Chains A and B, each alone.
Chain A
C-alpha cells in the first residue's frame, strides 16, 4: 500500500487555507494543492492526481457536496477518498455527509498539529 502523499484541499477562506497548508505540508510532510473553490478543484484535480481530497462544506458557488459529486464524475478520481471539513458536526450531519460518499468528516476548528495524523488515519481507513 502506497504512502499518502498528495492532498487536494478545497477551501475558500484564505486564513484557513494558510493554516491548513502549513499544518499539512510542514507538520505532515504532504504535497498539498489548495483550490479556492469547487469549480477550481474540478478543473485542476485530475491533473494533480491527489491521493486524498479534503473539501470544505460551505463555499460560495459550488459547495462541498456538489463539488464531491462533480469530482466523482471524473473516472480517474472516482475512487479517491474524500473527507469533508465542516463546523457542522452533529451526528446526524456526519451521517448525511457520509451518505453522500465522504470517507469521513473533519471537525472545524481543527487542531493544526493533529490534522496530518487525522488525515493519515482517514486515508488508511480507506485503503
Chain B
C-alpha cells in the first residue's frame, strides 16, 4: 500500500496509458470488464476500468485480493462453481461475475500492488496463448506502473527539492531581513508555497489574541485577490502592514480554533465556511494549517484552489515548511517584540528625559516598578522609596477625593485607561493637584502587564480655576444684589420714560409707573435742581461724542431727603444715526457717597489734627482745645470735654462749650454724676443718640445737665486709664452715631492720649534738661561738647570759659588748635586714636592757651556720644589744674629749699661729730664716746634722707643730669653687691650675685645705676630676716635684660602694692613704723630706671619674700658674641 501511495497511483485521476491497456484487454479477450485494480489494505481501487462504473470495491469481496497473493494468473472459470466466490455479492448480484482472470501486478521493487483482471458474466476458460497474452498485457501495465513510480519519484524528489529551496530561501530572506523587506520575505514564501502546492491563492498570517483572549489573524503575506476597486484599494492600503481577520466563523477561523488542519475540498457546502463576499473569486478547495511553535499556535497558512483539492499527504509533505514557518513567525514576533521593547524603552526614556511630568509604571496589581525623575520632583519620593508599593497609599491624603481614588482602582482592576485630576500629597505633606493619565501595558497576547501613568502638576491650574470660580461667584452675587434701575427714555428735556424698573421706588419714593410717559411726574423733576444742568450737560456731551455717560447726581426723595444716584447710559440710534432712545442704568449710591463724604470729613479732621500736633508753639491745653473743637464740628455736638479721672474725681482737663456755658478747665465733678461713669463701667465707647429715649434717662447726669446726645470713650496714657474724651449735646441726634463717627471718636481719644503722653514726656525731658543744664552751667569743671567731624564747639560751660579769658562767642569761634599748643599735637593724635577705637579718651594733661597768650594746664577726658539726629559728638571734661600744679611746684620748691637749708647746719654737725668721735679732739670717756657716735650716726642718716629728698625733687623738676654710655652690665652688678655688702651685714644678711657675665651691655649712667642697686639691695637687706640671703639675679631675653633682687622678707602687703612706687610711701604709715626710711627710695628708683628707658616692677608673695626688678634694653658684647 505504501508502495502504491508512494507511486502516486491511488486515488489519482484516470490515465490514458492505463485505459489504453484495459481497452485492449477487453477487446482481446472479449470480456465485458477489464480493470487495473490496485489493492489497498481494505479495498481495491480501480486505476483504470472498462465496463464498470464503481471506482472501488471492498477488499473482502474482491477477487483481486486473492489474485495478488499468488505469483501467477488467478483464473476462475465459473465463480459459482468456486467455493471461495460462490456467495460473493459480486457473483450472486451485479455484475453477476462468472469468469475472473487476474494477473498480479508486481512493481520493479517486488511489491504486489494489484492486478490486471478480466471479468465476464459467462463461465470461460483461457487458453495458454490467452493466458500468455494476459500476462504480457499485465507486464505492460506493470511497466506503466513502474513508469508511474519513476515519475512519482522524480516528482516527489522535485517537490522535496523545491520545498528545501523554499525553506532555504525563506530562511535566508528572513535572516537578511530588514523591516521593509520582511513582508517581501513572506510574500516570496507565499508565492513559493502556492507554486509548490499548485494552489491559486493563499495567505501566511500570524496568530494574535484580542483583549478577550480570542485569536485573530494578521497577515504577513496575502495574495491579491481583489475583485473590484474597493477591494483593490483595501488591499493596497492594508496588505503591507498586515490585514487583520477577526471573524472566526470561517474556514480559517475553524483552523485557528480547532488547532488542526482544515481541508475543505467542497467549501461551498462546508458548514464551517462563513460564505464569501460578493465578487470573491471562487473558492473550490481550501487548506488551512495552524502552525505551532514551542507549544503555541503562532501562525497560519491558508491556501486555496489546488486542482483536485487538498489532502493529508500534502499537509504531511508541507510539514518541514510549516516548522520553518513557525520558527520564522516566532522569530519575527520576537524581533518585533524586541523592537517594540526597544521602542518602548526609547519612548520612555524620551518621555522621562524630556518631560517635566511624572511618569510612573506599575505592575498589573498597581505596585510601582519604575518612576522617572519628574515623578520624584512632583511627589518627593524616590524610585527606591516607591518601588513595590501602591502609589495611592503614599500619595493620597485626607484631601484626596475618595471617589476619584476609587475610580482609579476600578480602572486598574479592569485594565482600562483612565484620566483623573486628584489631590496628592508631597512627601513633605504639601498638597498638590495632579492630572493622571493611566494606560494599561499589555503583552503581545493582550494580557495586562501593568500600567503606565503620566502625572502632571495642575495645582496652578486648579488654583486658577478655583479663583476664577470664586470671582465668578462674587461677580454673580454682586450682579444679583445690585439695586439698579434700568430705563429707556426719550431724548427730550423731561427724559420721558418709556420703561423704568421698579427699583426707582426706593431711590425716589415714587413708583416707576408715575414716571413712565411722565404719567404723574417726569424723572427730570426729581433730580436736584442744582444738579440738573450738569446732568443734562454731561448727557449732551456724551451724545455729541457718541460715547456713554456716567454721571452722579442727587435725587429729591419723596421723604424730603436726598439720595445720590449714579447713572450710566448710552444712546440707541437709528440707521441714520439719529438718537431714538436713551438706555441706561441708575444706581443708588447714597450710602457710598455718604461713606465717601464721611471718610473725607474724617480725613480732613485727622489732617487738621496733624496740623494741631505739628504746631509746636501750642501748649497741650490749646492742642486739646482745638482737637475738641474739631470733634464738636465733626460730630455736630456742641460740648466736648477731655477729663482727668482719679477715683471718683472728674476734673475737666480741656473743654469746648458754647459761650455762656459754665464749664472751664480745672472744674471738678463727681465721676458718678457724669456719663463717663458709663464708659468706665462698660470699659469701652458709649454712644447714646437720645438719652431720654434710652435706658439711661435715670442717670444723675441727665437729671443734672439734661444732655440728650452723648458719645464718650476712655483716654489711655501709657496704657493706663487717664480719663475720658466725650462729646455731648442738649439736642438729641436725629440719626444715630455711625461707625465712622465712633471710629473717629476712638481715634481722637487715642490721639489725645498720645498728645498728653507726649506732653508729659516733653515736660519730663525739659525738667531733666533743666537739671542737667544747671549742672552743666554750675559745674566747677569745664565741660565742652564738640562736633566729632569738625571739632567745632557745640556747647561749653562757664567753668571752661573762665580761665581762658575769652567770651563765649570768641571761644566758640576758635578752632581747637587756637587753644592747644602745637607741641601737644602728637599726644592729641594719640588720644584721638584712642577715642576712635574705644569711644573714650583721657584723662591726659596738656595746656590751653589763654586769650593773652599765656598757658595753663588742664586735664582732659571725654567720650563720644550721638545726638538724637545721630550726629557724632564729643563730651569733654576739661579741668583747670593750674592750682594743683602751682601747689605741687610750691611743695617741690619748698622741699628743695628746706633741704638745702637743712644741709648747711647738718654739714657742720655731722662734720664736727665726725671729728670728735674720730678722736681728733682727743680721747673721750666711754659713755661720751657712745653718745657722740649715736649723734654722728644719726646725723649721717639725716644727710641721707635729705639727699633722697633732693634727688626726688631734682628728678621731678627734671634737673638731674644723666651721663649715659654703653658699658657692660655685669661689672656694675658686682660693684653694687660689693658696695652694699657692708650695709647688709648690719642686718646680718648676705648679698649674693647669682649670675654669670654673658656679655650684656647696657646704656646707663653708672652712678645712677648704682643708686638704683643700692636702693633695691638695702631695702631687701632691711626687710630680710637675720641670716638670710638676698639674691641679685640677671635674666636676658633677647634685647632686654632683667636684673632682680629677691629677699625672704615679709613680702609686700596687698593693700600697699598700688602705691609702692609713689613718693613718701611706706607700707605702714600708721603709728606702727616698720623700718626707718624716707619712703622715697622706690620712687627714686623708678624715676631713675625710667629715665634710662627701663622699667621697674616687683613680684611678691606675702610672708615669702619679694622680688624687685628692673629691665633695661641691652645688646651683647660683639667681642664675646
In the complex, A3 has a CB within 8 A of chain B? no
Stretch at the interface among B440-448, B855-863, B894-902, B1071-1079: B1071-1079
Tell whether, in the assembled complex, residue B934 and residue A58 are in contact, meaning their CB atoms are under 8 Å apart. no
In the complex, A65 has a CB within 8 A of chain B? yes
Q: Which of A19, A22, A60 contacts B1073 (CB 8 A)?
A: A60
- Nearest neighbor of A18 in chain B, beta-carbon distance: B934
List B contacts of A59 (CB < 8 A).
Answer: 1071-1073
Tell whether, in the assembled complex, residue A15 and residue B937 are in contact, meaning their CB atoms are under 8 Å apart. yes
In the complex, A63 has a CB within 8 A of chain B? yes
- How far apart are B1053's CB and chain A's nearest CB, in angstroms? 14
List A contacts of B1071 (CB < 8 A).
Answer: 57-59, 63-65
- Nearest neighbor of B1076 in chain A, beta-carbon distance: A13
In the complex, B350 has a CB within 8 A of chain A? no
List B contacts of A61 (CB < 8 A).
Answer: 1072
> In whole angstroms, what is the CA distance A15 to B936 when docked?
11
List B contacts of A19 (CB < 8 A).
Answer: 931, 934
> In whole angstroms, what is the CA distance A57 to B1069 when docked?
12
State which residues 916-956 of B face A: CB under 8 Å.
927, 930-931, 934, 937-938
Tell whether, in the assembled complex, residue A58 and residue B931 are in contact, meaning their CB atoms are under 8 Å apart. no
State which residues 576-612 of B face A: CB under 8 Å.
none
Interface size on A, residues (CB 8 A): 13
List A contacts of B1070 (CB < 8 A).
Answer: 63
From known contacts A15-B937, A15-B938, infer whether A63 and B1072 are also in contact, taking CB-CB under 8 Å. yes
> In whole angstroms, what is the CA distance A19 to B931 when docked?
7
- Nearest neighbor of A64 in chain B, beta-carbon distance: B1071
> In whole angstroms, what is the CA distance A7 to B1070 when docked?
26
CB within 8 Å: A-B pair count: 29
From known contacts A19-B931, A22-B931, infer whether A58 and B1073 are also in contact, taking CB-CB under 8 Å. yes
List B contacts of A65 (CB < 8 A).
Answer: 1071
> In whole angstroms, what is the CA distance A81 to B931 when docked?
29
- How far apart are A61's CB and chain B's nearest CB, in angstroms? 7
Per-residue contact bits, chain A 58-82, to B (CB 8 Å; 1 contact, 0 not): 1111111100000000000000000
Most buried by B among A15, A57, A62, A64: A15
- How far apart are A9's CB and chain B's nearest CB, in angstroms? 16
- Nearest neighbor of A65 in chain B, beta-carbon distance: B1071
- Nearest neighbor of A109 in chain B, beta-carbon distance: B938
> In whole angstroms, what is the CA distance A57 to B1073 when docked?
9
Per-residue contact bits, chain B 1069-1096, to A (CB 8 Å; 1 contact, 0 not): 0111111000000000000000000000
Q: Which of B930, B1073, B1074, B1075 contacts A18 (CB 8 A)?
A: B930
- How far apart are B377's CB and chain A's nearest CB, in angstroms? 93
- Nearest neighbor of B927 in chain A, beta-carbon distance: A22
- Nearest neighbor of A12 in chain B, beta-carbon distance: B1073
- Nearest neighbor of A88 in chain B, beta-carbon distance: B1071
List B contacts of A22 (CB < 8 A).
Answer: 927, 931
- Nearest neighbor of B938 in chain A, beta-carbon distance: A15
Per-residue contact bits, chain B 642-684, to A (CB 8 Å; 1 contact, 0 not): 0000000000000000000000000000000000000000000
> In whole angstroms, what is the CA distance A18 to B1075 when docked?
19
List A contacts of B1072 (CB < 8 A).
Answer: 58-63
List B contacts of A62 (CB < 8 A).
Answer: 1072
- How far apart are A110's CB and chain B's nearest CB, in angstroms? 14
- How far apart are B986's CB and chain A's nearest CB, in angstroms? 12
> In whole angstroms, what is the CA distance A18 to B930 when docked?
9
- How far apart are B580's CB and chain A's nearest CB, in angstroms? 125
- Nearest neighbor of B1075 in chain A, beta-carbon distance: A60
> In whole angstroms, what is the CA distance A61 to B1070 when docked?
12
- How far apart are B590's CB and chain A's nearest CB, in angstroms? 99
List A contacts of B1075 (CB < 8 A).
Answer: 60
- How far apart are B299's CB and chain A's nearest CB, in angstroms? 134
- Nearest neighbor of A58 in chain B, beta-carbon distance: B1073
State which residues 24-73 of A face B: CB under 8 Å.
57-65
Most buried by A among B930, B938, B1073: B1073
- Nearest neighbor of B1069 in chain A, beta-carbon distance: A58
- How far apart are A85's CB and chain B's nearest CB, in angstroms? 12
List B contacts of A64 (CB < 8 A).
Answer: 1071
List A contacts of B938 (CB < 8 A).
Answer: 15
- How far apart are A87's CB and chain B's nearest CB, in angstroms? 10
Most buried by A among B934, B938, B1072, B1074: B1072
> In whole angstroms, what is the CA distance A22 to B930 when docked?
11
> In whole angstroms, what is the CA distance A32 to B148 when docked?
187
> In whole angstroms, what is the CA distance A53 to B1072 when docked?
18
List A contacts of B927 (CB < 8 A).
Answer: 22
State which residues 1057-1077 of B face A: CB under 8 Å.
1070-1075
List 21 interface pairs A-B (beta carbons < 8 Å), by A numbering: A15-B934, A15-B937, A15-B938, A18-B930, A18-B934, A19-B931, A22-B927, A22-B931, A57-B1071, A58-B1071, A58-B1072, A58-B1073, A59-B1073, A60-B1073, A60-B1074, A60-B1075, A61-B1072, A63-B1070, A63-B1071, A64-B1071, A65-B1071
Nearest first, the 4 closest Cβ-Cβ pairs linking A and B are A58-B1073, A63-B1072, A63-B1071, A15-B934
Q: Which residues of B contact A (CB under 8 A)?
A: 927, 930-931, 934, 937-938, 1070-1075
A59-B1073, A60-B1072, A60-B1074 are known contacts; what are 15 more A-B pairs with Cβ within 8 Å? A15-B934, A15-B937, A18-B934, A19-B931, A22-B927, A22-B931, A57-B1071, A59-B1071, A59-B1072, A60-B1075, A61-B1072, A63-B1071, A63-B1072, A64-B1071, A65-B1071
Q: Which residues of A contact B (CB under 8 A)?
A: 15, 18-19, 22, 57-65
